Structure 1
Amino acid sequence: MKFRGDNVNTTIIKDFLLQLAFIAVLILSMQIFFAERSNGENNRRVKIILSVIFGVCILFCMSFPVYTNSDFHIDIRIVPLMLGTLYLGSRTGIILSAIIILYRLYLGGVAELLTTTLVLVCSMPVFLYALEYFDKGNKYKRIQISLLLTVCYCLIGMLTVFVLRGFTLQALQVQLLHFTISIAVVLFFTALNETIQDIIRKNRQLQSDVKEAEIAFLRSQIKPHFLYNALNSIAALCLDEPRKAKELTYDLSQYLRSGFNFKQLGSLTTIENELELVKAYINIEKARFGPRLGVEYDVEANMDILIPPLILQPLVENAIRHGLMSNLRGGTVKISVKQEEDAVIHITIEDNGCGMSERQRDEILKLNADKTGIGLWNISERIRLLYGNSIRIESAEGMGTKVIFDIPAQTVRQIGG
């Protein structure tokens, strides 16, 4: 399609490639960069940044249009407008439309402003209506929807130009060129974006599967560890206090019947259930150690809040066996579970036992295959995998030890929707 010769055609191609390259570098690189950060509260910030990037792309396209002759100039603002609306939502689409109209007003030209406004007023309702189907569609359905919307946008633009500026063969050529390039570019970007999103989704699923497998392995280590110690404690009572041993065995079996069934809660349990396990374990240990073992509870939290199962009991066990019972006089373990105002559960397991040195604090969170104790390392790893946090240990020799960690408050109702 020629307008003023081969040199003009070369310039047109270069101008379109410039717009295409600018959009590709900004939009696709930013989407990849922010892909792993798009969750929760952070997702809103990512959307804002991407919206700004789409807006910059629109301003660039409108600032450096492709001039076909002295009367006509075209650009591919449809690409950032389309992607911003379909992937970031209706609010972004409306904001981007407002940016186009305001910038067109700044650039001047009554005919151009009227054309731009009419095209957006007629096409944006169609875009917003298609959002629901786009969100629910698979990769190929989304590509089809984006192509249909591009055709709709270009046809509306073509008809608007003909109505406002009259029909000429030259105008038809320009509109057909814009139509062809817009279809090709939208197809390219939508297909590429969907491919990137598909790769990211598969990568996230693989990461999630690996994390779940690792957490399941860590939890499986705690179960036999807890049972081994609990049954040893019961066995120690069988000769001297068989009735007490029988009662504790019955209590333990009753708890295990319901306490280890975490499947229905997505591998999480409530604070109430976790504290029941802690109390069952402490009852067993108190029967063994008698008045040497004291316990204090300081719980100020919604008991329905979900936490990882078997996360308190190993810490309590560690405090009792390695902190308190290392002293002949014993001591007291304090279990604190408090819900903070910022929707965080603050958990502290504290004892006034023998404490530990700084070197011991550094070593205790390292997995040592020569040791049978895995409690603190296990808990630390599970919290890191689930929440990205780590436990904090405060201790001094002869003064006791305090283990502290925070997890987000999440209830059964929130999980179920």
Structure 2
Amino acid sequence: MPEIKYFYTCLELWGSFFANAVAIYLYLSKSVIRKQYRTLGALELIVGVMLFFDAVAWFFRGVPGPVVHSILIASNYITILCNAFLPVAVMAYTVYSVEKEYRTHRMLMVVTGIGAFNGLFYMIAQSRNFIFSIDPVTNLYHRGAGFGIWSALILLETAGTIVYLTIKREHIEKRRFIVIMSFVILPLIASVLQIFIYGFSLSNIAIIIASAILFGQAVNSNTRTLVEQTIFIENQEKILEDLRTQIALSQIKPHFLYNALNSIYVLCDQDPPKAKKLINNLSEYLRTDIGSIGTGKTISFEKELDHTNVYLEIEKARFGDRFVVEYDIEVADFNIPPLTIQPLVENAVKHGVCKKSPSDPGVITIRTEQGYGFVKIIIADNGVGFDLAKYNAMDKSSTDKIGIANVRDRLKILENSEMNVFSEPGKGTTVEIIIPNKDK
């Protein structure tokens, strides 16, 4: 029946092309299940080679001629030899499909040993045409007396995979277990049927179908694993960012307290009653509000402004008339991260207005503006200013840069917030903070 002959030829050539393309893809693609992809690639490669040479055998089947006779012997020889190593590849893929902590290789070694024996037995037996023969006149394939023994040895290899699959079924992804079992069972059933039905490549048809299912499941598993890892990494990045936030807070709190207490220390000699009053203010601030700093949550703008005013009272008591503070609060009903304004005002005092001549009082302005969908906070001073290019080139750990860097970290609590710094030597510094206002 020439139609059957050419049908199987085309079917197996297509199957060979698909399996080899899949093998190349699995070897070259980047995967989070690398060992599974590599072992599946080896399996698909064996399938591709086996199907190609079986297609050649089908195409030249019954075509007379000595050259065709040699082609048929070689193609059938390779096709059947591939059957000895295919169960080993299936077994390897099965092993690497098991969860790592439950994975064992003893059965793989057993199946590999049986496969090696089968390959050696086949090469020796076929030297006497014990497995198959090709009629030199008709160029038709005939099973040999040892075909049944050969098939039994292949079944023995396959049995090892079935046993291992059964033992480890609880530690293999359910879908993976089903498709591997189908790859084992479908060709096995087809092989048994083929013992009694001659002239049809039932086992190869089953292998084509099963290998396509196996590949599809592997790609699906890899995709799901990639998605899960992406989500895990995003969660870890969020946790890491929160940790950085807490570290920044742990740096800011002692920094603020050290500066406040140092200023009060100076006043203890200059003006003890004022120092006493400031200690009382600071203790009240610590008692009522310091807890909000360590939470990593936002607080009301009014509360943050109160924190800042406590600091400014301390510094005003120390520096006298060296600077004044002006307020222009257009909007106050919004939240910001704790210790957002105070470090910037501290920079304005320490590195801005107080570096000017005592005869030239400085001005610090704290202003808020309502925008469409956002609130802008502006902290400006007419102090000595600085070179932004040199500042940006400084190391992040520099003490002159840590205050602004910590505020930037604080602002990450609020999505889409930003901070811009403008400064010019001799003219002062302006810091703008933009806070999204979802109520607007």
Normalising by the residue count of structure 2, what TM-score does the alignment of the two structures yield?
Answer: 0.49
Q: For residues 265-324 of structure 1, what are the alpha-carbon distances to aligned partners after superposition, in whole Å with 9 as ceiling and x for unaligned?
A: 54433323222211111122222233332112233445342x332121111011012211
Residue type of the alignment partner of 2:234:
R
365, 369, 372: which one aligns with 1:338: 369
Whole-angstrom CA distance in 2 between matches of 1:279 and 1:213: 29
Structure 1 alignment gaps of length 5 or more: 30-139, 149-175, 412-417
2:40 aligned partner: none
2:404 aligned with 1:376, yes or no? yes
2:434 aligned with 1:406, yes or no? yes
1:324 aligned partner: 353
Paired-residue identity, % = 31
Residues 173-188 of structure 1 mapped to structure 2, 5 A cutoff: 184=214, 187-188=217-218
8, 11, 34: which one aligns with 1:8: 11
2:240 aligned with 1:237, yes or no? no
1:336, 1:347 within 8 Å by CA — same for their partners in 2?
Answer: yes
Whole-angstrom CA distance in 2 between matches of 1:319 and 1:261: 25
236, 246, 253: which one aligns with 1:223: 253
Larger mean Cα displacement after TM superposition, 402-411 or 310-319? 402-411
Larger Rg computed on CA atoms: 2
Q: What secondary structure does 1:323 align onto?
A: helix
1:203 aligned partner: 233
Whole-angstrom CA distance in 2 between matches of 1:183 and 1:299: 67
1:395, 1:402 within 8 Å by CA — same for their partners in 2?
Answer: yes
2:342 aligned partner: 313
Residue type of the alignment partner of 1:289:
F
Whole-angstrom CA distance in 2 between matches of 1:15 and 1:400: 70
Structure 2 alignment gaps of length 5 or more: 32-169, 179-205
Residues 1-400 of structure 1 mapped to structure 2, 5 A cutoff: 4-12=7-15, 14=17, 184=214, 187-262=217-292, 266-301=296-331, 303-305=333-335, 307-327=336-356, 328=358, 329-341=360-372, 343-357=373-387, 360-362=390-392, 366-367=395-396, 371=399, 374-380=402-408, 383=411, 391-400=419-428
1:270, 1:304 within 8 Å by CA — same for their partners in 2?
Answer: yes
Given the superposition, is the C-alpha separation of residues 385 and 279 from structure 1 closer, same or farther in structure 2, using an over 3 Å criterion? closer
Residue type of the alignment partner of 1:293:
F
Whole-angstrom CA distance in 2 between matches of 1:317 and 1:347: 15
Given the superposition, is the C-alpha separation of residues 17 and 280 from structure 1 closer, same or farther in structure 2, using an over 3 Å criterion? farther
2:423, 2:430 within 8 Å by CA — same for their partners in 1?
Answer: yes
Matched residues, number: 273
Given the superposition, is the C-alpha separation of residues 263 and 325 from structure 1 closer, same or farther in structure 2, using an over 3 Å criterion? closer
Whole-angstrom CA distance in 2 between matches of 1:286 and 1:319: 13
Whole-angstrom CA distance in 1 between matches of 2:250 and 2:389: 29
Given the superposition, is the C-alpha separation of residues 257 and 194 from structure 1 closer, same or farther in structure 2, using an over 3 Å criterion? farther
Given the superposition, is the C-alpha separation of residues 188 and 280 from structure 1 closer, same or farther in structure 2, using an over 3 Å criterion? same
Residue type of the alignment partner of 2:303:
N
Normalising by the residue count of structure 1, what TM-score does the alignment of the two structures yield?
Answer: 0.52
Whole-angstrom CA distance in 2 between matches of 1:207 and 1:146: 31
- Give how far 1:388 is off: 8.4
Q: For residues 362-399 of structure 1, what are the alpha-carbon distances to aligned partners after superposition, in whole Å with 9 as ceiling and x for unaligned?
A: 45x53465x57732343345557976887433223332
Q: For residues 221-270 of structure 1, what are the alpha-carbon distances to aligned partners after superposition, in whole Å with 9 as ceiling and x for unaligned?
A: 22111111111222233344333323322222222234332489544333
Q: What secondary structure does 2:364 align onto?
A: strand
Q: For residues 387-414 of structure 1, what are the alpha-carbon distances to aligned partners after superposition, in whole Å with 9 as ceiling and x for unaligned?
A: 6887433223332111234344469xxx
1:361, 1:393 within 8 Å by CA — same for their partners in 2?
Answer: no
Given the superposition, is the C-alpha separation of residues 269 and 2 from structure 1 closer, same or farther in structure 2, using an over 3 Å criterion? farther
Q: What secondary structure does 2:266 align onto?
A: helix
Given the superposition, is the C-alpha separation of residues 20 and 330 from structure 1 closer, same or farther in structure 2, using an over 3 Å criterion? farther
Whole-angstrom CA distance in 2 between matches of 1:392 and 1:182: 56
Whole-angstrom CA distance in 2 between matches of 1:406 and 1:20: 54
